[in-house]
Amino acid sequence: MHDFVYHNTTKIIFGKSSMDSIGREAALYGKTMLVFGGGSVRENGVYDKTIASLKENGVEYCQLWGVKPNPRISKVREGILMARNEGVSLILAVGGGSVIDTAKAIAAGVPYEGDPWDFYGSAKAPEIALPVGVVLTIPAAGSESSMSSVISNEETGEKLGCTAECFLPRFAVMDPQNTYTLPAYQTACGASDMLAHLMERYFVRTRCCDLTDRLIEGAAQTVIEFAPKALADPENYDVRAELMWTGCIAHCDILDRGRGENGRGGDWASHQLEHQLSAFYDIAHGAGLSVIFPAWLKFVSGKDPAKPAQFGRRVFGITGLSDEETAQKMISSLEYFYRSLSLPVRLSDIGIGRENFDEMAKRALEAKRGKLGSYIRLTEDDVKEIYTIAE
């Protein structure tokens, strides 16, 4: 285990009464800009509850609507102008990962004199930002308590991430009841995203990190057990609560401490490969991950099956086989899980061919400045091979 520092200041307010706290928390900062996606928060009552809590606590607010999945930098720029013109002191994201990532980018862009895209895909992370709060409606990305934000640039066709301590939300309101009306596909994609965040952290070469190995394995088993239950019984509070809390834990960075030489560890190549898919084809992130992760596992298991085999034995209960056989059976079990949620596991399942493999591979390497992956370091040809395996 390597040296590390862990720092996470997000206040988690979880449970059936958590929505009552929105106004009290926002009142600590002042005028608030609400950031929303589409109209689902009006239909499920989240919007009305949020506004009522703000009014009850005397919080002045303005509203920015229209954040899309794979959130766009153009919406970030629009939000920055609104926040400056309105003189807000808090950016409150009401939604899922795309809304939260947009709110973070806006918060960093308000005090910055340049273009907010400067922070994405470069070493120039923001150092200051307006406070961000969250009312979570989609358990998936874990952005409600992470330092990360991922934004797409529709002008350049890029989807890039940025990590900064100032992105940490000050508070996150998490009521599992807000997820009851999620479409089944969104629930499934969210489960895929959670599982990917866990597996990205799991596949490292660091020795003696068994505690976090087992925490990740337990969280992965929770996703695998409870995602199908959420689809079968969407208004089961306990099931929804398990998934919402797991999504948060999966990406709050506690599970990657000591697993890398810089204090945090993980592979993250699969995310970069998926970012190219959603940048080129605007597919759901979770759906792209359910295609890419099995293909990546097939590639790396052919070179070093030890860690995939451990995951297979501990998470899926596979016994009595060699490392190579266990790794292959684990991948089959993982694909079966994805298919049980009606998620794709092949590019052909979502109508994607090989026409952009070369450019996507090139951009994946460029996004990480040529250093892609840690369990197995990938070349451009390796990335193209993984895309080919995913066909």
Beta bridge partners of 90: 32
Helices 380-389 and 269-281 meet at what angle, rounded to 10? 70
The structure tokens listed for 94 are 């009401």
4 in a structural domain: no
In a domain, 368, yes or no: yes
User: How far is residue 146's CA from residue 13's CA, in Å, rounded to a whole number?
Assistant: 15
Indicate whether 171 and 187 sit together in one domain.
no
Q: Is residue 214 domain-shared with residue 357, that is, in the same domain?
A: yes
CB 327 within 8 A of CB 214: no
- What pLDDT does residue 370 have? 86
Residue at 256 is within a domain = yes
Nearest CA to 98 among 53, 152, 44, 55?
152
Same domain, 112 and 197: no
For residue 291, what are the contacts with CB-CB under 8 A and spacing of at least 6? 274, 277, 344, 345, 346, 347, 349, 350, 390
299 and 167 in one domain?
Answer: no
The pLDDT score that the predictor gives to residue 263 is: 62
Residue 1 lies in a domain: no
pLDDT tens digits for range 247-257: 999 999 999 99
Of 124, 156, 178, which closes a domain?
178
- Residue 336 belongs to a domain: yes
Are 111 and 255 found together in one domain? Answer: no
What is the rounded CA–CA span in Å between residue 387 and residue 391? 7
Whether 362 is covered by a domain: the verdict is yes
Nearest to 72 by CA among 156, 193, 188: 156
- Using the 3D structure, point to which of 147, 178, 209 is the last residue of a domain: 178
pLDDT value, residue 129:
98
211 & 162 share domain: no
Residue 107 is encoded by which pair of tokens?
A: 């918060």
Could you tell me where the DSSP H helices lie in the chain?
22-27, 40-43, 46-56, 73-86, 97-109, 184-202, 210-232, 237-251, 269-281, 285-301, 306-316, 323-340, 357-367, 380-389
| Single residue among 178, 205, 237 that ends a domain in this structure | 178
Same domain, 131 and 201: no
In the prediction, which pLDDT does 341 show? Answer: 98
pLDDT digits (tens, 9 = 90+) for 209-230: 999 999 999 999 999 999 999 9
pLDDT the model gives residue 262: 67
Which domain covers residue 195, as residue numbers? 183-389
Structure pTM? 0.95
Please indicate, yes or no, whether residues 137 and 205 belong to a single structural domain of this protein. Answer: no
- The number of domains in the chain is 2
Phi, psi of 135 (to 5 degrees): -115, 105
Please say whether the beta carbons of 93 and 132 come within 8 A: yes
CATH number at residue 330: 1.20.1090.10
Residue 6 covered by a domain: no
Given a cut of 50, the residues of the chain with pLDDT beneath it are: none
The CA-based angle 388-390-371, given to 5 degrees, is: 70
User: What pLDDT was estimated at residue 261?
Assistant: 67
